[in-house]
Structures are given as C-alpha cells and as structure tokens.
Structure 1
C-alpha cells in the first residue's frame, strides 16, 4: 500500500486537490454538460475554472531526527494532498491554489513502534501532529489551523487484516486499511464487515473509528460503534489495549473514549471488529409517494415495525429528481432487505404493506430507480468537484432528531438555508433531503445545498450556509452531526450540545493523555 492511497505503483493515482481518483474527475466536456443542467436553476459566475496546477510550497520548517527521518516525506504533492480534507471549502481552496499552511512533513509509519517514535519526537519538540487516514474528512478534521509548523501522520502504511477468528466471527484490522482492501481480505472467509460509508473506497478503518462513521445500511448495526470488539491506541502517555470480549459491564467502556476522539486523544492502530457472513438473499422495492408527509409516516412505520431493512432511504421530491431521475414531483422510498441465512421476500412484502397504508405506490421499475440513485450516490463527490469548478457552492450536512421533532426541523432548515442563499448571493439556495438512517425513535436526515456562487467568495458563502444550517439544527433539538464527525467546522455547535461536566472530563482526558497538546489541536476542544 502506498502512502498516497494507491494500492500499487502501476495503479491509478489519487487526486491531490479533489475527490478520489484523478482519472475519474469530470473533464471539460462533462463539466459543460453539467453547466447546461445547472444553469436553469442557478446562475453561473464566469467560465469553468481550470484544473489546478500544483503550486510551489514554502520550504519545510521542520527537521526530523534520525529516528523518524526515514518515515517522512516533504515533496510538494504529498504535502498539498495532506493539507486539507475533501469538503467543498477544501476543494475550492485547492482550486484557487490557497495553501496557507500545508504540513511541513508527512510521516508514514509502518509499525506501531514507528507511531510511538513520531509522537515521542513531536511531544518533545512541541510539533502538532494531525492523524490522517484516507483524508476524506468534510468537517476540517485533518487540517491544522494554527500558524506554526506541523506534521501530518499518514497511517495507511499500517494496513491489512492481521487475523480472522471465524469461530467468533471477528477480525483484527489495522487502522490504515482502506475499505476495499478490508473487504477483499474478508471475502475468502465468506465474511464481511458490512460497513460501507459513501467514502468507503478512500477511507480507512481507523478513520471510521476515530469519527464514529455511519455505514450505508439504514437500520441495525450501521454505526461503526456497534461493530467494535476491542481497540488498541497509541497515546503520548502510553499504549491502551482494551479487553476483547463480546460485552462488558465493567465501568465506563474504554473503547467509547477512543470512538469519535478524532485523533485528539490518541492514534488508533488496530481493532477487533465483529464481522458476519456475506448476504445470499436479497429483495428490494421502490415506492412513490405523492405527499412527502405520507412518505415520512410510512418510514416511521417501517422503522418501528422491527423489520430492520438494510436500506430504507427516503428521497424528497427534489432529491428524487436530481438523484433518481424521477421528475414527477413525488418522493421515493428505496427499500431493501438482505440476509445470509434466510429468504427476505416476506419481510419486504410486509414493509411494502405498511407503506401502502400510507398511500405509497410500488413502482414496477424499482431496480431502475434504485440503480439510478445508487449511481448518482457513488459519483456525487466527483460531481461536487465539477460544480466547484463551475462556481456553484455545494454543501452537505446531516443530523438526527426524534420523529416528533422532524417536521419542524425539516421546514426550518429548508427555510433558513434558502434564505441564507438569498442574503449571500441574491438567489435562494436549493435544498434537498434524504434519510440515510432511520431508528425507531427518529430519522437521520441528510441535506444537500446548491447555491449560486461568486468567484473568490465561495468559501464565505459556504461558511454562511453552514452557520445558518448549524444554528437552526441546534435550535430544533437535532445533533450537529450524525456521522460526519465534529472536526473543526462543527466545533461551535458541538460545544453547545455536550454537557459541561462531560466537557470538563474531556479536557481532563486531553491533558492526561496528551500533556504537550500536540495531537490534532483544535478538534473537539478549542
């Protein structure tokens, strides 16, 4: 595994400025086609921005000691690729060549002892260290916003599935393992982790743990939290190894300290995860709802039925039009069930029956609707980069709330963000909503925003939309994030969401585990 995320020297190259594979980015012809689709809805400000040329970077301000020098790289492409995550504001800055403070060095540990050596040096020298997995953060999680020198700790060299316990159905997975490599290693055993976030191809197991990632599946064990059996973490204060058992009531769970810690309390080097047999039975359906309120009630009925579908994704009318080519003004619900043990047709039939009771109409071409949406879903980050080159501002944010709170929260979010678009650009922003996950007590709505942009002002507009969304979510009782993590971008609302006694405990843990304060400064805590 190469440190830049490529799996062999002869294979494809990751983009240093945009999402995913460099050769899969939208070309000029595809961007022109995209412009024709967008211009009826949003004005475009100027011509297509060119693909950026790697800028010259200032010389590194750090000289690593001999013990870690061989692990470090300082070439411009490596440093630029590790400067930011892959949120819209990150891509726009890289398009404009804005690299105010790229990492001075990028370290590629190959062993846990390498991680220890890097942290020992950094703590002694007072060098900030930002752990970096796949670099897919959309919340400022891998970007150092201080003014001094810093080091990016790329963990992709710590990769692979070290052990598979087929009897207990668990696997020991190293933190830098990319999603596809993880599944490739489990496949010969007939097993799967069954955790597929949208960033699956380019994100790592350790990154999922550090950010409490959510998988693609709508119900059941979808958060990575539910799949963790034990963790091993390197901190400046020592190495933590939790006990590997199916469950424990022995005090607060040590694993919960590291899950969601986002690299600010320690570096997750490996973990035991619960795996399962690969599914053999599948069934799916797509349903149309003329009234969005009916669709929401149908999803609630399914979520509270105990059926636990693998997919229960509700697309509002605009999301259905843009993502599934359903231009009839109706919402779409994509349902799917799967099992490794038994047929699931009866489960699907019961879910459809529940939806019919709320005026849902099954579509004959369900596979086509689901397939179209899936294709759009996978290609969405590349499309986002094309829109950035066209000057369109794009934002995605997600939350979770109770069913009782959803109607008011949804209406307030759509109104506030659309109004923020008018304030910032003179044009209302377009807001779509889909449910990514559903629980018996509430949904996890995922919003996408498209707003007119002004060249040079894209980041300011993005920030204003983010503020409007965050404020209204907090005011209506939603969490600031369901699975994107806190990072630096969500910190103001996270500070208001967490109880103050917990904040005291978190600050104390930070002081005890990272007394020099070098691990990912600015994440979770100011």
Structure 2
C-alpha cells in the first residue's frame, strides 16, 4: 500500500503532529507570547462533508481516467496555504472540482482538453498541489470544473550525459526525478521547500525558486526546452544552449501557471553531483552588520550554495539560537574542486563586518555512501509546514510571505513590512503580531526576504485575520519597491498586486496571448488574467 498524503494539510498523513506533540508545541509557542487555548481542531472525513454532486459526466472514452470520490475531490480543492488548511479543517470545500482526471499520456491530455473546450468545462492543471497562492483553486463556479492531475505523466525519459541535459515528464515529483538521475551521477540541484511533494511541471509553471541561494536558483535558469499542450495545438521548443532568434518561446510558458497551456515535459540542464562541501555559521550582534556582510559575500563573486541570513527572532525560533544574535549560514559545494578557500574568503568578509564564525565544517570529498548533506537539510527544513498545520489546528495564525528588492531599498522595505504587520496585529487582536525575516536567496543587486508571521487567532475568524495581515504586508511591499512574489507565484491570491506591478502594454499582450491559445477561456480561469 502506498504511503497516503494528507488531504487537508501538508505532506504525509502520518507525519501530522498528534495530540501530545501538539500540546507540547502549544506550550512552547505560548512562551513567546502567543497564547493558545490548547484545543485541537478535528480533521473531518471528506465522505461526511456532503460535497455537491458532480455537474458533468465524462465521455465513455475518458471515463476510466476520471474519479469522483469525495476524498479525491477534497484533496484537489485547495493548495497548501494556511488559509487552505483552515478551510479544510472547517470542511469548507465550496470550490471542490466536479471531476479529477489522471492522464497517462500526452494523447490523454489532448483528449481531455478537447472535451473541456467542447463542453465548456473549466480546467485546472494540478501537479503536486503545493500552491500557497490559490493557484489550483477554481473559484469561478459558473461552469463545471475538471482538475487534471499530471502525476501520471512522470519519469526521466532520456539523459544526454554529453550535453548535461535530461528530458523529464512534467508530473515527475522531486525525489523521483533525483533518484532517476542518480545512476548517471547527475542532479538537477533544484530543491524548493516543497521538493518532496511538487513536480517539475509545477516548478516550471510557477517559476519556482530552489534552496540554493545564488547562481542558478530559479527553475528557468535550468530549462533548455519545453513541450506544452494548448487548446490551439502542441508547442515544443528547440533544445540549444542559447539562441537570439526573437523572444524566447520557452519564456512564454514559464510562470504561466496553467492559464496558457499544460506543460507535459521539458529538457533541463543537469550537473554532476557535488563531491566537495564546506559550511559555516557566522554570528552577528547587529542585524545591519549581518545584512551588509551578506551583501559583501554575494557581490564578491564567490557564489555560495547557501547564503541564508536569519534575523534574531528567526534564529531563535528556527535555529535554536539563545544568545539574541543573528546568524548567516554559509555553504559551498563543487563536483570538481575543493571549496575551503571560498568559504575562508567569505568568512573573512563577514569578520570585516563584525561577524564571529562558528567552527566551520571541514571540507571533505563526499563518498558514495556518505550521508547527503542536502537530504539532511531537507529533513529539517520540510518539517516546518507540519508545525504550521498543528498551530492552525490549535487556532493560531501562522503563515509566510516573500518578496525581492534592491539592496538600496531593503532597509525601508523591511521596516515598513514589520511595522505594517505589527499594526495589523494590534488592530485585529490588540497585540502586535510576531514577524521573523530570513533571506532565502541573495543576488548582487538585492535580497529575497522571506517573512513568517505568528499571530493570535480566534476560532472561526482565522482566515479573515490572516487576509487582513496579508493585505497590510502586500501593500507595504509594493509601496516600497518590492515584487509581490519572488518564488511563490501569482495564483489568485496575488492578483490585485500583480495587476498593479505588470506594465500595461505587457498586460495587453498577455490577454491577447490568452485569447489566441485558449479562446474558450477554459484553462485555470482567474489566474494571471480574467
């Protein structure tokens, strides 16, 4: 029997915190000024929620691809954001799809889209379902909704070891992708927090960002060619290392979030698995010094694999730091050469800004049987959403948002966001919300700050509270020169600010493209364009 995923929350069903673990978590969080009543919300059974009857019946030729059982429909209703988890716990599945289809080939997908266009059925492409911005939730109920789960289109099809590229189907989950590249000694090296449960197609459709802090961090940096099915036909781009032949056809699909077409496979650039690694944590008493040191490192050209800055509160809550300092986590890796010298130079730059390094992890050549450092990090990092889910069941408001800005504009943006969220908390609950900040990615021209909010909730009002905080934070971000999202995508939740961020001529071109490729408007309505 396959390991079941949680239909209502993050990840594996058996990793959700039980009542005793949740009680201990509540006590720990209360020590930081976030009181909880200790009552754990019950997880409902989808079979007892009375989902409405499906409003459409597939043709006989496609019936075996479709499912209508309550659990499948419930699991494909929302993504995995805080507001999704809370609504699932309440049994609020008003936007459940009428059918869920599992195509096994590109021909199946073409047939499903042809049927949807002919019968005016809204189509939501669904990869791993880890969207945190409403990207897989069809809120337009004016017509039946078909969720197309692409995980049946999976696997590494072909590896070009000479050119360092691999052709991979869009429904391939992260662990499966890496497992199938491993015998060739290759890796994609793209590890978003959702790695275990998200797909290559989802990464491409949302322009996902991986764990590594510099260099090729966005999936678009790793794409060589893309194949897409649209209502207007199938598009496949040429695989070459570079081209000046007009605007890039690949870029049309990257970030399109299933509203222009459905990605079925891609050629991606892979690399040799790393053998050499070195890492260190650097302590800073002053946050401004830590920010300046991070900027120095990323502008030095050293390109660390990890350059993650944690502010005081993030260091305390996320890394167990008890001395009130900030932490800059540095890491270097290479498949070809030792990296101690790069780490040493980065540490020197930090010392010049008042940093105090912990003892570095000594460089070593990674043996085939040695523990994978990325896997060890992933095991720790991916546990955070399970804690978020437990806090949601306990009635707390805990969620994240992220952006990117210039180094010159960071101080003002950071101060504005912290102030806006704190005041939103006071207006809602009479006490400021706790806000932590870390840099997930850094570039020579600016950082990507990632904020986490902890606020008291009220039973039944959690979603409304979060929505107010989210609006306050988003307004502060765009007012201070930040993007509404660095790697979480637009979905439906970011539409108001995305519409303000994009230039008007580009909006005209995007709408025209939508009309040309999807004249019936069936693909993921409400995402990116109306």
Query: Structure 1 residue 69 and structure 2 residue 73: aligned?
Result: no
Question: CA contact under 8 A between 1:324 and 1:376: conserved in structure 2?
Answer: no
Spell out, residue by residue over 1:366-415, the C-alpha distance to the aligned partner (whole angstroms, 9 max, x if none). Answer: 79xx9998655220000000000010001211100000000010011011
When residues 152 and 371 of structure 1 are mapped into structure 2, their CA distance, relative to the original with a 3 A threshold, is closer
State the Cα deviation string for residues 307-340 of structure 1 (Å, max 9, x = none).
0000000000000000110021100010000000
Map of 1:43 onto structure 2: 35
* 1:27 and 2:22 correspond: no
Q: Is residue 234 of structure 2 the alignment partner of residue 228 of structure 1?
A: no
Q: Secondary structure at 2:202's aligned position in 1?
A: helix
Task: Measure how far apart 1:144 and its partner are.
Answer: 0.4
Report the count of equivalent residues: 515
2:419 corresponds to which residue?
Answer: 415
Equivalent residues of 1:324, 1:372 under 8 A apart: no
Q: Corresponding residue for 1:125?
A: 119
Match in the other structure for 2:291: 296
Measure the CA separation in 1 of the matches of 2:95 and 2:128: 20
Q: What do the CA deviations read for 1:413-455 (whole angstroms, capped 9, x no partner)?
A: 0110111111112221100000000000000000000110000
Given that residues 205 and 263 in structure 2 are in contact (C-alpha distance below 8 angstroms), is that contact kept between their aligned partners in structure 1? yes
User: Which residue is equivalent to 2:480?
Assistant: 476
Q: Distance in 2 between matches of 1:117 and 1:501?
A: 34
Does 2:451 match 1:447?
A: yes
Pick closer, same or farther for the CA change 1:371–1:513 going to 2, 3 Å.
closer
Aligned match of 2:53 in 59, 65, 81? 59
Secondary structure of residue in 1 paired with 2:442: strand
1:343-382 matched pairs, under 5 angstroms: 343-364=338-359, 376-382=380-386
Question: Which residue of the partner structure matches residue 4 of structure 1?
Answer: none
TM-score, normalization by structure 1: 0.96
Corresponding residue number in structure 2 for 1:18: 9
Which 10-residue stretch deviates more, 337-346 or 67-76?
67-76
Aligned match of 2:365: none
Q: Using the alignment, how far apart are the partners of 1:453 and 1:333 within structure 2?
A: 32
Q: TM-score, normalised by structure 2?
A: 0.96
- The answer to whether the Cα contact below 8 Å between 2:23 and 2:38 also exists between their aligned partners in 1 is no
CA contact (8 A) 1:133 1:154 kept: yes
1:135 aligns with 2:129: yes
Q: Is the 8 A contact 2:278 2:360 kept in 1?
A: no
In 2, Cα distance between the equivalents of 1:51 and 1:95?
A: 6
Corresponding position of 1:6: none
Secondary structure of the structure 2 residue equivalent to 1:454: coil
Question: How many angstroms apart in 2 are the aligned matches of 1:445 and 1:377?
Answer: 17
Q: Which moved more, 1:405-414 or 1:374-383?
A: 374-383
| 1:492 maps to 2:487 | no
Provide the alpha-carbon RMSD of the alignment: 1.4
Q: How do 1:236-247 residues align onto structure 2 when only pairs under 5 Å count?
A: 236-247=231-242
Name the counterpart of 2:88: 94
Q: Deviations over 1:463-520 (max 9, x none)?
A: 1011011100000000000000000000000000000000000000000000000000
Structure 1 pair 63/273, CA: closer, same or farther in 2 (3 Å)? same
Contact conserved, 1:218 with 1:437, CA < 8 A, in 2?
A: yes
Aligned to 1:3: none
**What is the rounded CA distance, in whole Å, between the counterparts of 1:364 and 1:50 in structure 2?**
45
Q: Runs of at least 4 residues of structure 1 off by over 6 A?
A: 370-374
Give, in angstroms, the shift of residue 69 of structure 1. 1.4
**CA 1:265/1:371 → structure 2, altered by over 3 Å: closer, same or farther?**
closer
How many angstroms apart in 2 are the aligned matches of 1:447 and 1:301? 22
1:91-240 matched pairs, under 5 angstroms: 91-148=85-142, 149-240=144-235
Deviation per CA, 1:278-327, whole angstroms, max 9, x where unpaired? Answer: 00000000010000000000000001000000000000000000011002
User: Structure 2: which 5+ runs fail to align?
Assistant: 363-373
Contact 1:45 1:455 in 2 (8 A): no
Aligned to 2:408: 404
1:162–1:374 CA distance, 2 compared to 1 (3 A) = closer
> Secondary structure of the residue that 1:70 maps to in structure 2?
helix
Q: 2:26·2:38 contact (CA, 8 Å) conserved in 1?
A: no
Distance 1:382 1:113 in 2: 37
- Show the counterpart of 1:80: 74
Map of 2:371 onto structure 1: none
- Alignment of 1:389 with 2:393, yes or no, is yes
For 2:479 and 2:439, the matched residues in 1 are separated by 20
1:53-91 residue CA offsets vs partner (Å, 9 max, x unmatched): 222312111111122111100000000000000000000
DSSP-derived class of the 2:168 partner: strand
Contact 1:325–1:372 (CA under 8 A) maintained in structure 2: no
Residue-by-residue CA offset, 1:234-254 (whole Å, 9 max, x unaligned): 000000000110110000001
Question: Are the aligned partners of 1:45 and 1:454 in contact in 2 as well (CA < 8 Å)?
Answer: no
Mapped partners of 2:26, 2:506: distance in 1: 48
Secondary structure in 1 matching 2:152: coil
Deviations 1:254-288 (A, max 9, x none): 10000000000000000000000000000000010
1:306 to 2:310 alignment: no
